[in-house]
Structure 1
Amino acid sequence: MNRLIIFVVAVLFVTAFAAPAADLVTSLPGANFTIPFKHYSGYLKASDKKQFHYWFTEAYNNPANSPVLLWLNGGPGCSSLGGLIEELGPFHVSDNGNTVYENPYAWNRVGNVIFMESPAGVGFSYDTSGNVATNDDEVATNNYNALVDFFTTKFPEYKNNEFYITGESYGGVYVPTLAVKVAADKTNFPHFKGVAIGNGIYSFKLNYNTMVPLFYYHGLVRQNLYDKVATQCCKGNTYKCDYYTILNGFSECSTLVNELLDQGEDLDPYNLYSTCYLNGGSSSKRDFIRRMINHQSGLKLNKKSAGRASGLPLCAQSNNTETYLNRADVRAALHIPSNVGHWTDCSNEVGYFYERVHDDVSPEFKNLISNNLRLLTYNGDVDTVCNFALNKQFIAQLGQQLKPESFDSAEWYYRAETPSVAGFVTKYTGNLDFVTVRGSGHFVPEDKPREALQLIYNFIHQRDYSLPVPV
């Protein structure tokens, strides 16, 4: 009888604390290196009808005692697997989807990383009813439910690890709205420590109000057009001008501001200094995100059709991720059901049926500050879609005081090397840091992978941002 009791207890222990064997990826097609960590791919229950696909990469070293990070891409409507393969994940793809090579600056050198595809209809995630229409608050609830499933059903052994929520772009809405729910649930998330958001869309009004001076001071706008907007529409004060309200109307000023924001069309809006030609197609993630941000703004922005697609050579293969993830052997390795459709980086259907609820996430940030959570908001400084001035102004108006070390502009350095200025740091009370990444665009872990790894490592370990990463 005693042996039976011991056996039952042992089975229950293994069931409660073992990672899901069915989700373990045992062989990754195309990998040209030996993968030194475990990784899992499967589904999390977001609601009775919604199943969110996740790909979980354990840490390179000591995963049992390393923090857990959730990563969310934005859009709305873009897949976090794009973030995995093209930005901060350990697996990067080349050779037209035939080769997987190791990213030496992957964030799972810092901790265990969950890449979750949200909302339903994005990537391999789905709703059994086929309905992909959703909104900010429903997505926050679905993301919360999926995380509860992750920590209670799939990986309970990680429940007591430190936990962080990270993301970029429309993650500026996804992350804080989810974080408020997580912060309120100490039972399922006993060691939730904070959030890190790159180039987030925190305020639609501030985003458009900061665009005009940003365009002008980056040399994109001819002087007479800028002067005309200043005198006719802004009473001579372009810095305090409410361009968002102007754009929301149908006046001559609306036409002028639209014209001003249509300058530099042949440049990459996500990185003004990029030397890579764009493909400009509707399937391009880079084109998609800007269209979705403009769509969600509710403004009637008149964009001339871009001419960059015709006759311009691509400097990089643009569809490696999509080609790779739709290979039959890759889908089988990732345990994707046969009835789940073709994977795309971003979903037009999800994006256009998405309902924006939060124009400004100041209440969510203040809630997180009051809960003593640590907040990092970082920005590549040559992105025009969710620009650094938007976030600098947003953070400044949250009511926190500058820390003494931020009274003057403070540089941070890559590997503490002078003059390798990686960007600038502003620290506030309330555990709130604003950091720029010099010369990076919208996708910081892609544009500046070394600096991004150093940034996230030092944030999590509460070290000076300039210190070299010891991994």
Structure 2
Amino acid sequence: MTVKSDPTRPLILWLQGGPGSDSTGFGNIEELGPKDINLQDRNNTWLQVADLVFVDNPVGAGFSYVDSNSAFTTNVKQIGQDLMAWAKAFFKKHPEYQTRDFYIFCESYGGKMSAEFGKQLQDAIDDGSIKAKLAGVALGDSWISSMDFVNTWPEYLYSVSYLDGKQLDTANSKAAECQKLVDNKKWYDATTCWGQMEDLIGQLTAGVSWYNILKSGGTDDWSKKFSLKSNKLRKFSVKQRTFDRHIGHLQSDALNDLMNGKIRQKFGSTIPANIRFGAQSSAVFNQQWGDFMTPNYDTVDNLLKRGVNVTVFNGQLDLICNTLGVELWLKRLQWEHRDEFLNSAKTSFSSPDQSQVWGFQKGFKNLKFFYILRAGHMVAHDVPWPALEVVKKITGKA
């Protein structure tokens, strides 16, 4: 599709989760970019609202790569620093974006990265070391507070009949083990416990999808590949199983073929001949193992207190980053207007003909929350048009 140049158009940066999944492939092709997996025009591309930029991060995801293991990041602070290096180069090379509204949108683990990057970017804007206009950070189904999600998995699954009372007790007991490790700041062991908790949930629910609770047994688009290999994977380590559950299966054969074929040709000599799309994603995932369970709602607090617009949007059917957990970490904020936000009116938004409620919204000052119905973890993929409408609301283009 052709988009006319417009100096008032905002710029949206999309950051994928994982860590180790990629923005230029999965986020762009599978969710919100101008072309789909068959290179056909996407009817609900976010390009209708804003200019888009996709960055493969942490370094090693997608087509990005390292020549030495020492260059891999091990925590979100380092990821933020790498993104700042990109931002300084980008806004210098493209000065036309220095005064445009710049939004950071994300999904899943991308939320931890986006909050940290947003903080560092605002720091640089404030001290004058970069010229940019951070208009907002939008956290989609974001892994902001690990234990608030882990502790609500059992309750959520019990409420929708995936667990009975005995299984609820079993799952809560395992979650309590993980909580104790987090309380003692044994981050590496806590991540291992998280992986074991996911194994347990899979066993108790006959493989409920982590990305859409209406799916089971690997029937959603993202867990099919993992489910088909699950019997073989049982002999692998918790770390390997967790990677395959959340990252490996996203790199479908069709996406890999496209990225290593036609898309690679478009990039030309920019990508060295020995680099393959997604080849270092497992290393990216493993290097972050000690940082998975650290919460960063305090970083969200920092953004709010400085007046940065923060929007949370969450799919109703998401399990891994379920709305129950989001509600809990929002209550942990120390922002002075937290209570006004929590007590603000929750209103619905609907289809243009008012025939279907798409979701609900609430907000106060610079914090907004969108509850998106019939969507799982990948909101833009599951409900493309409602997702686009939410983007319009966030960017003031509605």
TM-score by length of 2: 0.81
Aligned to 2:114: 175
Please list the CA deviations of residues 60-95 of structure 1 after superposition, one character each: whole Å capped at 9, or x if unmatched: 24442211111100101111021000001111122x
Aligned residue identity for 2:29: I
Query: Secondary structure of 2:156's partner?
Result: helix
Q: Confirm whether residue 105 of structure 1 aligns to residue 52 of structure 2.
A: no
**Distance of 1:412 and 1:64 partners within structure 2:** 30
The one of 427, 432, 436 equivalent to 2:371 is 436
CA contact (8 A) 1:382 1:440 kept: yes
Query: Secondary structure of 1:197's partner?
Result: strand
Aligned to 1:280: 225
Instruction: Spell out the pairing of 1:145-164 with structure 2 (5 A cutoff).
Output: 145-152=85-92, 154-164=93-103
Q: Confirm whether residue 352 of structure 1 aligns to residue 286 of structure 2.
A: yes
**Distance of 1:256 and 1:156 partners within structure 2:** 47
Q: Confirm whether residue 208 of structure 1 aligns to residue 142 of structure 2.
A: no
> 1:408 offset after TM fit, Å?
4.8
CA 247–397 in structure 1, closer or farther in 2 if over 3 Å, else same: closer
Q: Confirm whether residue 334 of structure 1 aligns to residue 267 of structure 2.
A: yes
Please list the CA deviations of residues 198-221 of structure 1 after superposition, one character each: whole Å capped at 9, or x if unmatched: 100011121211111011112110
Please list the CA deviations of residues 258-304 of structure 1 after superposition, one character each: whole Å capped at 9, or x if unmatched: 745642233322111246464233999xxx9xx99x859xxxxx99x
CA contact (8 A) 2:73 2:287 kept: yes
Instruction: Spell out the pairing of 1:375-414 with structure 2 (5 A cutoff).
Output: 375-399=310-334, 400-403=337-340, 407-414=344-351
CA contact (8 A) 1:76 1:354 kept: yes
**Distance of 2:272 and 2:227 partners within structure 1:** 26
Aligned to 1:459: 394
CA 260–84 in structure 1, closer or farther in 2 if over 3 Å, else same: closer
Q: Which ranges in structure 1 are unaligned for 5 or more consecutive residues?
A: 1-34, 37-59, 95-99, 235-240, 297-301, 307-316, 464-468
Instruction: Spell out the pairing of 1:69-80 with structure 2 (5 A cutoff).
Output: 69-80=12-23
Query: Secondary structure of 2:43's partner?
Result: coil
**Distance of 1:453 and 1:245 partners within structure 2:** 37
Aligned to 2:205: 264
Which one has the largest radius of gyration? 1
Aligned to 1:57: none
> 1:245 offset after TM fit, Å?
2.3
**Distance of 2:318 and 2:341 partners within structure 1:** 29
Please list the CA deviations of residues 84-134 of structure 1 after superposition, one character each: whole Å capped at 9, or x if unmatched: 00001111122xxxxx10111111111111100012211111224354531
> 1:423 offset after TM fit, Å?
1.6
Instruction: Spell out the pairing of 1:236-275 with structure 2 (5 A cutoff).
Output: 242=176, 244-245=178-179, 259=200, 262-274=203-215
**Distance of 1:418 and 1:345 partners within structure 2:** 46
**Distance of 1:256 and 1:367 partners within structure 2:** 31
Q: Confirm whether residue 421 of structure 1 aligns to residue 362 of structure 2.
A: no
CA contact (8 A) 2:362 2:368 kept: yes
Aligned to 1:137: 77
Q: Confirm whether residue 68 of structure 1 aligns to residue 11 of structure 2.
A: yes
CA contact (8 A) 1:106 1:453 kept: yes
**Distance of 1:256 and 1:195 partners within structure 2:** 30
**Distance of 2:80 and 2:228 partners within structure 1:** 26
CA 406–419 in structure 1, closer or farther in 2 if over 3 Å, else same: farther
Instruction: Spell out the pairing of 1:301-380 with structure 2 (5 A cutoff).
Output: 318-327=252-261, 329-335=262-268, 336-344=270-278, 347-357=281-291, 359-380=294-315
Q: Confirm whether residue 93 of structure 1 aligns to residue 37 of structure 2.
A: yes
**Distance of 1:141 and 1:283 partners within structure 2:** 38
Q: Identify which range, 260-269 or 85-94, moves more after superposition.
A: 260-269
Q: Confirm whether residue 218 of structure 1 aligns to residue 151 of structure 2.
A: no
CA contact (8 A) 1:209 1:243 kept: no
**Distance of 1:363 and 1:405 partners within structure 2:** 17
**Distance of 1:256 and 1:337 partners within structure 2:** 39
Aligned to 2:193: none
**Distance of 2:289 and 2:164 partners within structure 1:** 36
Q: Which ranges in structure 2 are unaligned for 5 or more consecutive residues?
A: 183-188, 191-195, 246-250
> 1:145 offset after TM fit, Å?
0.8
CA contact (8 A) 1:243 1:257 kept: no
User: Runs of at least 4 residues of structure 1 off by over 6 A?
Assistant: 247-250, 255-258
**Distance of 1:433 and 1:107 partners within structure 2:** 20
Q: Which has the higher helix share?
A: 2
Please list the CA deviations of residues 416-464 of structure 1 after superposition, one character each: whole Å capped at 9, or x if unmatched: x4341112223234x1112111111110011111011000111110x7x
CA 105–229 in structure 1, closer or farther in 2 if over 3 Å, else same: closer
CA contact (8 A) 1:395 1:434 kept: no
Q: Confirm whether residue 196 of structure 1 aligns to residue 141 of structure 2.
A: no
Aligned residue identity for 1:367: N
CA contact (8 A) 1:75 1:346 kept: no
CA RMSD of aligned residues (A): 3.6
- Whose relative contact order is higher, 1 or 2, with alpha carbons under 8 Å and at least 6 apart? 2
Please list the CA deviations of residues 221-254 of structure 1 after superposition, one character each: whole Å capped at 9, or x if unmatched: 0233335777xx59xxxxxx8563268799xxxx
CA contact (8 A) 1:77 1:348 kept: yes
